[in-house]
Amino acid sequence: MQLRSESRVARTIAWSIGVGLALTILAGVRTTDTRAESAARLCDSSSASRIPQPTARHLAAAGLARLPIAPKRKRVDLVARPFSNSTSITNPLFPISKLRSAILNGRVSGKVFRVETTLLPDTRIVEWRKGQCVRTLVSQYVAYLDGRIEEVAPDFYAQADDGSVWYFGEDVCNYADGVVRDTSGTWLAGKEGPAAMIMPAAPRVGDVHRPENIPGLVFEEGRKGDCQDRGRTARTGKWRSGRPGAPRRRDVLGQGLRARIRRVLHGPRRRCRGACLRRAHRRALGIRATRAREALVARECHFCRGRGRAWQVASANLTTMRAGWDAYRARGVPPRLVVPTSAGLAALSKAMAARDSQRARNAALDVVQAALDLELAYRPPAQIDLARFDLWLRQILVDAATRDRSAVSGDLATLEWIRDRIAHTLASVAVTRIDTHLEKLRDEVVDGDLAAAARTAAALRKALPPE
């Protein structure tokens, strides 16, 4: 439960506090759901609405009777303004419509924790009150724990006309041993409970709002404060700190997400915007987009192939990779990207010293992943996701060789979610080819035929369009 709680915290507050947020890429949004358009015309989105609130009896039934909640006079989320342009989310503390791709690196319960969030091209119409609908953006959240898929949730967001951002639900899949364990935490506004304000339009110290407001399922109340302020939050009857009554430090007020991202990327704020800022990225790091990975990773995994001469070649490659990383890091790297890259190279070095092919293969893929994160500052997110797709196909080859069915199943699940990020950028024939191979992979994993799964993964790698 502790891990589940911390994982969910990462998704709901990462945007506002910027902890571990490394990179963002700006892009537009494409709407594709014509049937939803027809449904939307039957609903009203132009009137302000009072948000239904759980009563004291609801809180007691959820085991939250003793939870100290703010008085209503402190709340700023009791009324939702009209949603006349709901998918244009411009709130500087929660700019989801411009947050095309982002990563979050850290640790949870002592284990490596990683999050990828991606703005999908689809939108979703939600009838959040009877006769009232809103079109929401869909942001895909994927969390990995110790390098394996842990949780996936498409989240639904919309902005009201006053600039506040509202949360309309999530479709949660919690994974264990490579398969969906449960869908705990799934909710939809208008079905399980009310919509919830995830970010006020112009928060002030002392303001209170509930990013989730369904006691017994998902519940959180936050108070805006400065960096030294303390607040309490709870979900599903569990305190986020892991023990009842314990305070959790929160910094949810400041210069805004964009400023935080800029500091992570470049240090102190500069008077530089748009194309100037993109050029500054390149000048600051002094390396072309594709060179980031080339400086870190050899194209072929020589140390995975056997003994003798192969390890000598691998040792020379590792020396080159270390030198490339040292030079690249000296030019300026976002702090949250330093640890994964350095840790991957260290693990690779240890595996090679031990002549452990299996560990070396996994470490090499970790380094590739870290290098792709570095490239995200320069290359379109769809290209990075296509490279990640290839990376997880390679991971299937590694895991199938050790007959780890759970790992292969998790690798395939990851591929299926990444597929949703890239399908709209590929030719329809390429998508058909990918889907056919994924279906075949799914059948082979279910049947436990990992050798066949490895062959299919290798065939799909060859069939992928170039990055």
**Is there a domain that residue 253 lies in?**
yes
Which is more confident, 287 or 386? 386
- Residue 226: the pLDDT is 54
Least confident piece of the model among 66-75, 141-150, 243-252, 445-454: 243-252
Least confident piece of the model among 92-96, 138-142, 450-454: 92-96
Least confident piece of the model among 4-13, 345-354, 389-398, 425-434: 4-13
Q: Are residues 99 and 45 in the same domain?
A: yes
Q: Are residues 106 and 251 in the same domain?
A: yes
Q: Are residues 370 and 345 in the same domain?
A: yes
Least confident piece of the model among 12-26, 240-254, 289-303: 240-254
Which residue, 223, 238, 266, sits at the end of a domain? 266
- Residue 46: the pLDDT is 64
Percent of the chain with pLDDT over 70: 72
Percent of the chain with pLDDT over 90: 58
Which is more confident, 28 or 226? 226
Number of domains in the chain: 3
Looking at the predicted structure, is the pLDDT value of residue 240 above 50? Answer: no
Q: Tell me the range of 1-15, 139-153, 372-386 where mean pLDDT is highest.
A: 139-153
Q: Are residues 354 and 239 in the same domain?
A: no
**Is there a domain that residue 404 lies in?**
yes
**Is there a domain that residue 276 lies in?**
no
- What pTM value is reported for the model? 0.78
Which is more confident, 319 or 426? 426
**Is there a domain that residue 440 lies in?**
yes
> Predicted confidence band at 313 (pLDDT cuts at 50, 70, 90)?
confident
**Is there a domain that residue 60 lies in?**
yes
- Residue 131: the pLDDT is 86
Looking at the predicted structure, is the pLDDT value of residue 41 above 60? Answer: no
Looking at the predicted structure, is the pLDDT value of residue 16 above 50? Answer: no
> Predicted confidence band at 182 (pLDDT cuts at 50, 70, 90)?
very high
Which residue, 237, 266, 295, sits at the end of a domain? 266
Mean pLDDT of the chain: 79
Q: Are residues 37 and 151 in the same domain?
A: yes
Q: Are residues 103 and 217 in the same domain?
A: yes
> Predicted confidence band at 454 (pLDDT cuts at 50, 70, 90)?
very high
Q: Are residues 217 and 322 in the same domain?
A: no
Q: Are residues 319 and 186 in the same domain?
A: no
Q: Are residues 84 and 100 in the same domain?
A: yes
Q: Are residues 371 and 394 in the same domain?
A: no
Which residue, 342, 375, 408, sits at the end of a domain? 375
Q: Which domain range does residue 405 map to?
A: 380-467
Q: Contact 362/398 with Cβ under 8 angstroms?
A: yes
> Predicted confidence band at 328 (pLDDT cuts at 50, 70, 90)?
confident
Mean pLDDT over 133-155 rounds to 97
> Predicted confidence band at 148 (pLDDT cuts at 50, 70, 90)?
very high
Looking at the predicted structure, is the pLDDT value of residue 111 above 90? Answer: yes
Q: Are residues 289 and 189 in the same domain?
A: no
Q: Are residues 16 and 35 in the same domain?
A: yes
